[in-house]
Amino acid sequence: MHDRSLLGPADVSDAQLTAMVADLLGHPTADVCLTSSTAEPVDYDLPAITTASRHWVSGTARTPTGESHFRIFVKHVQSWERHPFFAEVHPEIAELAAAGVPWRTEPLAYRSDLGDRLPDGLTMPRALGVFDLDELSAAIWLEEVRAGHPTWDLDRYRRAAYLLGQLAASPRVAERRNVGDVAWTVQTYVSGRLQHQVLPMLAADELWQHPLVAGAFEPALRGRLRTEAELVQGYADELMALPQLAAHGDASPNNLLAGPTPGSFVLIDYGFWLPNVVGFDLGQLLVGDVQIGKRSPDLLVETDEAIVPAYVDGLRAEGLDVEESTVRRAHALHLLLFTGLSTLPFELLDQPPTPEAHAAAAARASIARFSLDLLDAAVG
């Protein structure tokens, strides 16, 4: 029995699936007969504007060693032009907005040999197939990652930061750091989302009067954010002048799955796999779990103090000697531009002001304060 209709355009032919299952199970395609296959949605509650769907495809196949079960992860990625949010983009900046989210990097990363170049301790899921669906979307079929759920204590954060430093500085990784030849930089973000969405929100007095915002973002915090908002172009210029290295682009704990050996990680989600400023990956490693409510903002200071030196050690392990003060400054600037200035919970303002919404707003305000304090301490 075969029913993969839930996949929609991301589905493949039975022959293509048979070839992928044979590859997964380690048999010649001619020796494998697909006997059943079904698709079901992945239980995943973190939306992404470039992800159309996530599914598990599972089933059975006859092989030379008997009947075998299989399970494959299918991710349908697309330009965010196809996301409902894109309808809110003003037509005059639509092209700029679409280019600001380089969705093509993920399928291209999985088509490359990047997995063979990652530092010891980092792996990525094996791609069984990558299929272009049309000019604005692709389907990625990956082996299942059987990850545990270890506690993210400070030692785990240090280990992740060290490996991300190695990844950034590795000469072998550098050869694949821009597999999509995408012209995306910090300046792209500043000229796009910051200038056209974030900064106008910071300047809108009525937004600060909303109960959800007013209850978490005190007047002093509002003043500090608005002051820094006037300096973003200078900060972007400063970042662009620093070393540009390989970067995952979204190295939150959620994208660093437990690897097969202690202290190892499986790195997933390559939508922003691009060259970027030294220290770029520290931002999401630090605040990713705070943003989704999995980690207390009260732990930001001690976590930051753990990951920055570890990242610098990772850089040096690959032969790149960058002063820790330089990394701290780059990290602080990046955190402010990409996270601190955009912490206002605008997506919650049209929802009931539940205790959960107030807690989320308070956590966002804590991130904003921390990013401002971090920049104050990281004198250029």
Of 57-61, 167-171, 375-379, the least confident: 375-379
Confidence of residue 47 (pLDDT cuts 50, 70, 90): confident
Q: What is the pLDDT of residues 163-196, one digit of tens each?
A: 999 999 999 999 999 987 788 889 999 998 899 8
Q: What is the pLDDT of residues 278-322, one digit of tens each?
A: 999 999 999 999 999 999 999 999 999 999 999 999 999 999 999
Question: Do the beta carbons of residue 134 and residue 70 sit within 8 Å?
Answer: no
Question: Do the beta carbons of residue 36 and residue 59 sit within 8 Å?
Answer: yes
Q: What is the DSSP string of 282-327?
A: HHHHHHHHHHTTSS-GGGHHHHHHHHHHHHHHHHHHTT----HHHH
pLDDT at site 41: 96
Tell me how crowded residue 222 is: count the other CB atoms within 10 A of its CB.
Answer: 18
Confidence of residue 123 (pLDDT cuts 50, 70, 90): very high
pLDDT at site 349: 84
Of 23-27, 96-100, 354-358, the least confident: 96-100
pLDDT at site 77: 96
Backbone angles phi and psi of 189, in degrees to 5: -65, -45
pLDDT reading at 99 higher than 70: yes
Q: What is the pLDDT of residues 233-254, one digit of tens each?
A: 999 999 999 999 999 999 999 9
- Taking residues 79-85, report their average pLDDT: 83
Q: Tokens 């995943």 identify what position?
A: 44
242: left (phi over 0), alpha (psi -120 to 50) or beta: beta
Non-local (6+) Cβ contacts of 364 within 8 A are 216, 291, 343, 344, 345
pLDDT at site 250: 95
Tell me how crowded residue 90 is: count the other CB atoms within 10 A of its CB.
Answer: 9
Two tokens, residue 3: 């029913």
Distances (CA, A) of 212 to 189, 223, 239, 269: 27, 17, 33, 32
Mark out the alpha helices in 142-276 (DSSP H runs): 154-169, 171-174, 186-189, 199-203, 205-208, 211-214, 219-229, 232-240
In the sheet with 256-258, reading across from the earlier edge strand, the strands are 122-123, 265-267, 256-258
Q: Residue 380: helix, strand or coil by DSSP?
A: coil
pLDDT at site 380: 58
Tell me how crowded residue 136 is: count the other CB atoms within 10 A of its CB.
Answer: 15
Q: What is the largest CA-CA distance in the chain?
A: 70
